[in-house]
Amino acid sequence: MAVAAAGAAGPVFWRRLLGLLPGRPGLAALLGRLSDRLGRNRDRRRRRSPWLLLAPLLSPAVPQVTSPPCCLCPEGVHRFQWIRNLVPEFGVSSSHVRVLASPAEFFELMKGQIRVAKRRVVMASLYLGTGPLEQELVDCLESTLEKSLQAKFPSDLKVSILLDFTRGSRGRKNSRTMLLPLLQRFPEQVRVSLFHTPHLRGLLRLLIPERFNETIGLQHIKVYLFDNSVILSGANLSDSYFTNRQDRYVFLQDCAEIADFFTELVDAVGDVSLQLQGDDTVQVLDGMVHPYKGDRAEYCKAANKRVMDVINSARTRQQMLHAQTFHSNSLLTQEDAAAAGDRRPAPDTWIYPLIQMKPFEIQIDEIVTETLLTEAECGAKVYLTTGYFNLTQAYMDLVLGTRAEYQILLASPEVNGFFGAKGVAGAIPAAYVHIERQFYSEVCSLGQQERVQLQEYWRRGWTFHAKGQFTGTWRPRLRS
């Protein structure tokens, strides 16, 4: 019902948005272009429908595996092993994987893990909020660092925090001011890096006001790491994500190789970011190109190399480990391994960290997602969930052009984080509903409403931020 009402008001909505922005011509022009694009999509819909059948043929081919499936190793029986040609492949036991159910569980687990950390705490997020719960988290870090100084032996504990520069600098009280006491008290143990997109520079950087400058580009990694345990999530370090904003959280316990990889990845992005100083200024590392004052092409090239070196070195390490584990002439039985002191359970779960940093020409997540959607055959089920429904044209064509069943879960307008906000931000939920209705109209015009189903999450007093993709019930297919 909400979909139909908001969708019918779509053109009116865009005109009202443009009318609210007399003093912001740049943003008005941006919204105008978006409005034109939506209009063109409507006009194009009738013409393109027959061509949707060709969508899988026009998409990227599945990257070829470097060797045929192996009957010795566990991943020889699954069809996702090609991903290890792009990123490192980590095998873990499912007994080390736990899916958290609630924001409160996520918050309490983070605090508990910080308290017992001995070697490293690594936290990457869009921003750190400024409320009492966020202060509780900072106090927990401070207490753990204080204990590390009081230990009998010199502590190796390091705390590394990666945030986005524009979001983390918003307002007088912000992420930076929340973390300054830690930097000032523990300068040798704490590092705070603030990623600044290379696209926000020059006059653009001077003219676009706070909040709106965040639309140019952001640091959006969400990983929380404590010694050898990792929480992968979409949640930010803010009070609503600790109380009443539903997100996803996967806890990987005692997975040293994965923890090492994410430590190196966050360090790499941190190295190409601005470093927060104890006086609230920022600096670049020696020898690093400045993200918005230096040459953009040179900066992006350096950043690409720094990040890809981490990905490729980890991929090489994991391939060597795989060969030693499954292809060595001296393979140990599980009993022999246990007798030798290796009590880790055999891996039955395979983890592939996908990276997307388009300014640095790193589009691994995009390649893998398009390939998975392309390969989704008749009989497969694909589950997609997002807090903000705005499929790219390529993803939309693949959803409409393949034969798999799709269940798409998205936020209802009332549980969108922008619902009820003042000014332009308050109109954002209606914009997403308009896009959703436009997409569903196309589903119906193609007679695919049984195959592609949309559902809206609603819970009184909560918001919804979960994002992810799951593909199941695959039919095996042999390739010649």
Determine, yes or no, domain membership for 50.
no
Query: What does the pLDDT look like over 233-255, one tens digit per residue?
Result: 999 999 999 999 999 999 999 99
Q: What integer pLDDT is reported at residue 20 of this predicted model?
A: 44
Tell whether 126 is covered by a domain: yes
**Res. 290: pLDDT tops 90:** yes
In a domain, 340, yes or no: no
Q: What is the pLDDT of residue 79?
A: 73
**Which run of H or E residues covers position 55?**
helix 55-58
Domain shared by 272 and 382, yes or no: no
Are 136 and 247 within one domain? yes
**Do both 249 and 155 map to the same domain?**
yes
* DSSP tally for the chain: helices H, then strands E: 16, 19
Same domain? For 391 and 455 the reply is yes
Q: Of 326, 342, 367, which residue is a domain's last? A: 326
pLDDT in tens, 363-396: 999 999 999 888 887 788 999 999 989 888 889 9
In a domain, 81, yes or no: no
Catalytic residue among 96, 220, 290, 467: 220
Q: What is the pTM of this model?
A: 0.83
- How far is 254 from 230, CA to CA, in rounded Å? 8
Same-domain check for residues 276 and 382: no
Q: Is the pLDDT of residue 166 over 70?
A: yes
> Between vectors from CA 308 to CA 236 and to CA 197, what angle results, nearest 5°?
50
Number of domains present in the structure of the chain: 2
349 DSSP 8-state letter: E
- The answer to whether residue 357 sits within a structural domain is no
Residue 450 scores a pLDDT above 50: yes
Of the given ranges (92-106, 400-414, 415-429, 441-455), which has the lowest mean pLDDT? 415-429
Is the model more confident about 102 or about 343?
102
Domain contains 183: yes
118 is annotated as an active-site residue: no
Instruction: Yes or no: say if 387 and 466 are a contact pair by the CB < 8 Å rule.
Output: yes
How many Å apart are CA 360 and CA 195, to the nearest integer? 13
Residues 321 and 381 in one domain: no
Domain identity same for 395 and 313:
no
What would the two tokens of residue 166 be?
């524009």
| Catalytic choice (158, 222, 434, 465) | 222
Domain stop point among 290, 311, 326? 326
What is the average pLDDT across 140-153?
88
Are 184 and 249 within one domain? yes
Q: Has residue 413 been placed in a domain?
A: yes
Mean of per-residue pLDDT scores for the chain:
84
Q: Is residue 25 part of a domain?
A: no
CB 21 within 8 A of CB 425: no
> Cβ atoms within 10 A of the Cβ of 110, count?
23
Confidence of residue 345 (pLDDT cuts 50, 70, 90): confident
Question: What letter would DSSP give residue 54?
Answer: G
253 and 380 both lie in a single domain: no
- Does the annotation count 220 as an active-site position? yes
Find the catalytic residue in 139, 227, 260, 280: 227
- Give residue 70's pLDDT: 59
222 among known catalytic residues: yes
Domain boundary among the residues 285, 311, 326 is at 326
Same domain assignment for residues 447 and 314: no
Same domain, 297 and 406: no
Asked if residue 320 and residue 395 are part of one domain, the reply reads: no
What is the domain extent for residue 138?
92-326
pLDDT tens per residue, range 182-236: 999 999 999 999 999 999 999 999 999 988 899 899 999 999 999 999 999 999 9
CATH code assigned at 466: 3.30.870.10
